[in-house]
């Protein structure tokens, strides 16, 4: 990843929004021109689908686009048959809870709305306690830092001050994005070394994404 990830991530988010807006404007302009000339409008590809082909990029190329924690999460989701390929991440919400022998904590990977959760949870009186849990914003199958949830504190890397999903009001905290980057990288290495795709891993709960 880049030496200054907060710049790269911020630019990536801007690029996504800009591409979507440009795609929509171009689509609308061409439709208007065709209607004025008396031609049947060519519907083409809807603007919201412009980035779906990004999911078909070869794995080695995608590694340069996504965080290490997403790379490891995708491998675990495939290993436990939650998804078959990266584009399945676009199908909707999913949930995976894993348990290993001699591990007190459970590893949870989930997507709810536009948020992805990846982390360890301890359960005290059936109440899940994050220790730690990484929360990411999912946009077109690419995950961006939001916050790190821990037992007694929370590190916020980005947050909304407007309506949820209104990216004009998304604020980024550069120093916390940098901390998120380093922490997620260490976490990804750790869970891969622990072998959460091994034969001794128990799938406690699993919900598949739906079209």
DSSP letter for 152, please.
S
Report pLDDT for 2. 33
Cα separation values, 61 from 54, 65, 117, 189, 204, Å: 10, 7, 24, 20, 33
- What's the confidence (pLDDT) of residue 19? 39
Residue 28, classified by CB atoms within 10 Å of its CB into exposed (0-12), middle (13-18) or buried (19+), is: exposed
Is beta strand 170-172 parallel, antiparallel or unpaired with respect to 158-160? antiparallel
pLDDT on residue 168 = 58
- Rounded CA-CA distance 70/78 in Å is 12
Q: One digit per residue, pLDDT tens: the chain, 211 residues?
A: 333 233 233 333 434 344 344 434 443 444 454 445 444 433 333 434 445 556 777 777 777 789 999 999 999 999 999 999 888 888 889 999 999 998 999 999 999 998 999 999 998 777 889 999 999 999 888 899 999 999 888 888 887 766 555 555 678 888 999 999 999 999 999 999 999 999 999 999 999 988 6
| Per-residue pLDDT at 54 | 65
With tokens 């675990």, the residue in question is 76
Q: What is the pLDDT of residue 101?
A: 94
Question: For position 99, what pLDDT does the model report?
Answer: 96
Confidence (pLDDT) at 90? 86
The percent of the chain in helix, strand and coil, each rounded to the nearest 5, is 40, 30, 30
What is the value of pTM for the model shown?
Answer: 0.71
pLDDT computed for residue 204 by the predictor: 96
């Amino acid at each position: 990843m880049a030496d200054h990830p907060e710049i790269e991530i911020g630019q990536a988010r801007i690029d996504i929004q800009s591409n979507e807006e440009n795609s929509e404007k171009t689509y609308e302009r061409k439709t208007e021109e065709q209607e004025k000339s008396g031609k049947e409008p060519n519907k083409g590809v809807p603007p919201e689908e412009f980035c779906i082909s990004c999911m078909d990029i070869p794995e080695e190329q995608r590694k340069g686009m996504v965080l290490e924690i997403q790379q490891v999460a995708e491998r675990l989701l495939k290993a436990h048959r939650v998804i078959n390929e990266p584009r399945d991440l676009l199908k909707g919400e999913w949930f995976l809870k894993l348990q290993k022998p001699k591990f007190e904590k459970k590893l949870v990977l989930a997507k709810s709305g536009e948020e992805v959760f990846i982390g360890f949870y301890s359960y005290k009186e059936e109440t899940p306690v994050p220790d730690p849990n990484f929360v990411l914003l999912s946009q077109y199958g690419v995950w961006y830092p939001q916050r790190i949830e821990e037992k007694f504190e929370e590190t916020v890397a980005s947050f909304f001050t407007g309506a949820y999903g209104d990216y004009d009001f998304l604020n980024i905290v550069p120093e916390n994005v940098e901390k998120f980057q380093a922490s997620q990288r260490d976490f990804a290495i750790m869970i891969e070394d622990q072998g959460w795709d091994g034969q001794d891993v128990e799938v406690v709960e699993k919900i598949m994404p739906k079209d």
